[in-house]
Amino acid sequence: MSKQQRKSTDRAILITCLLICLVTLPLFFEGIFSRVFSFGDGDSGSLIGSVLEPRNDIRIKSKNSLSWTNLKTKKTDLRLGNSVFSGAGSETTIKLENGLTINMKENSLIKFTKVGDLMVPEIGYGSFELSSQAGVQIMKDGKLYTVQNTSMGSIRLVADQNGFRAFDASNAEIDLANGLITSTAKMPVGSTPSPIKATDLIPADQTVDFEARLDDIYQTNDDGTYARKFGHDLERPLHFSWQTGAHAMKQRLEHADNSQMRDARGFETQSQNEILVDRLFLGTNYWRVMPDQASWSEVRRFEVVLKYFDSHLRLLSPQRSPLVARPPNRLSLIVSGAPNPEVAGILVEVERDNEGPESVRAFLFEPGQAIQVPLDSTGLYRLRAREVLKNRLLSSSTNELQFEVLSPRLPEPPEFLGPDRVPLSLSQLTRLEWSNAGTAKQFDVEIHNLTTGERQIKSVHTNNLAFQSDSAGTFNLRVRQRDGYGQRSGWSRMKEIEVMAPIKPPPLAQNIENDFSNRDKLPFPKPSPIFSNDTYDSDQIAAEVSGYAMTSSEQKLVARDVALGSILGLRIRKNFFKQQAGEANLRVQTVGFNDTAHSSLYSADLRYFYRLENNWFESWKWRPFISLGAGAEMFRSTNQQIFAPKYDLMKIGFRVNFPYRRSWTMGGDVFYGQAADSSTKIEISGNFGYFFDHRFSAGLGYRVYFFDAATAASTPMGLPYREAFGEGYSVFRYHF
Using one digit for the tens of pLDDT, what is the confidence trace for 311-346?
A: 888 888 888 776 666 666 788 888 888 888 889 999
Residues 6+ apart with CB under 8 A from 396: 308, 309, 310, 311, 386
**Mean pLDDT along residues 673-699:** 87
Q: For residues 272 and 632, which has the higher predicted lDDT (pLDDT)?
A: 632
Residues 6+ apart with CB under 8 A from 230: 357
- Note the pLDDT of residue 89: 73
Q: For residues 420 and 620, which has the higher predicted lDDT (pLDDT)?
A: 420
pLDDT band at residue 605 under the 50/70/90 scheme: very high
Position 280 pLDDT exceeds 90: yes
C-alpha 696/C-alpha 595 separation (Å) is: 37
**Mean pLDDT along residues 54-70:** 81
Residue 543 phi/psi, 5-degree rounding, is: -115, 130
Average pLDDT over the chain, rounded to an integer:
78
SS3 332: strand
CA 429, chain centre distance (Å): 50
- Note the pLDDT of residue 24: 55
- Note the pLDDT of residue 37: 41
Burial of 89 (0-12, 13-18, 19+ CB in 10 A): middle
Amino acid identity of residue 155, one-letter, is I
Which of 92, 45, 49, 47 lies closest to 65 in space, CA to CA? 45
Which of 625, 651, 666 lies closest to 22 in space, CA to CA? 666
Question: Is the peptide bond between 203 and the residue preceding it cis, with omega within 30 degrees of 0?
Answer: yes
- Note the pLDDT of residue 186: 47
Residues 6+ apart with CB under 8 A from 596: 560, 561, 562, 563, 564, 640, 642
Position 230 pLDDT exceeds 50: yes
C-alpha 74/C-alpha 270 separation (Å) is: 39
Residues 6+ apart with CB under 8 A from 679: 647, 649, 707, 708, 709, 710, 711, 714
Run of H or E residues at 233: strand 233-234
Residues 6+ apart with CB under 8 A from 459: 442, 443, 444, 445
C-alpha 171/C-alpha 155 separation (Å) is: 9
In the 8-state DSSP scheme, what is residue 609? E
pLDDT band at residue 34 under the 50/70/90 scheme: very low
pLDDT (tens digit per residue) in 383-394: 899 999 988 899
- Note the pLDDT of residue 636: 83
Amino acid identity of residue 480, one-letter, is R
Position 509 pLDDT exceeds 80: no
**Mean pLDDT along residues 566-584:** 86
pTM, 2 dp: 0.35
- Note the pLDDT of residue 244: 81
Position 33 pLDDT exceeds 70: no
pLDDT (tens digit per residue) in 78-113: 888 888 998 877 888 998 888 788 888 888 889 988
Position 72 pLDDT exceeds 70: yes
- Note the pLDDT of residue 15: 66
Amino acid identity of residue 666, one-letter, is M
Position 286 pLDDT exceeds 90: yes
**Mean pLDDT along residues 550-574:** 76
Position 231 pLDDT exceeds 90: no
Which of 149, 153, 177 lies closest to 163 in space, CA to CA? 177
Which of 642, 652, 711, 655 lies closest to 682 in space, CA to CA? 652
Q: For residues 307 and 326, which has the higher predicted lDDT (pLDDT)?
A: 307
Position 546 pLDDT exceeds 60: yes
Residues 6+ apart with CB under 8 A from 166: 155, 156, 157, 158, 173, 174, 176, 181
Which of 32, 37, 33, 92 lies closest to 68 in space, CA to CA? 37
Please report which residue ranges of 447-593 form alpha helices under DSSP H.
none
pLDDT above 90 covers a percentage of the chain that reads: 18
The per-residue b/e assignment along 240-265, b for 16 or more CB within 10 angstroms, e otherwise, is bebebeeebeebbbbbbbeeebeebe
Residues 6+ apart with CB under 8 A from 513: none
Burial of 95 (0-12, 13-18, 19+ CB in 10 A): middle
- Note the pLDDT of residue 211: 93
- Note the pLDDT of residue 40: 46
Residues 6+ apart with CB under 8 A from 545: 566, 567, 568, 569, 729, 730, 731
Residues 6+ apart with CB under 8 A from 523: none
- Note the pLDDT of residue 2: 60
Position 623 pLDDT exceeds 70: no
**Mean pLDDT along residues 161-166:** 79
Highest mean pLDDT among 18-27, 323-332, 520-529, 613-622: 323-332
- Note the pLDDT of residue 362: 92
Run of H or E residues at 23: helix 3-28
Q: How many residues does the chain have?
A: 736
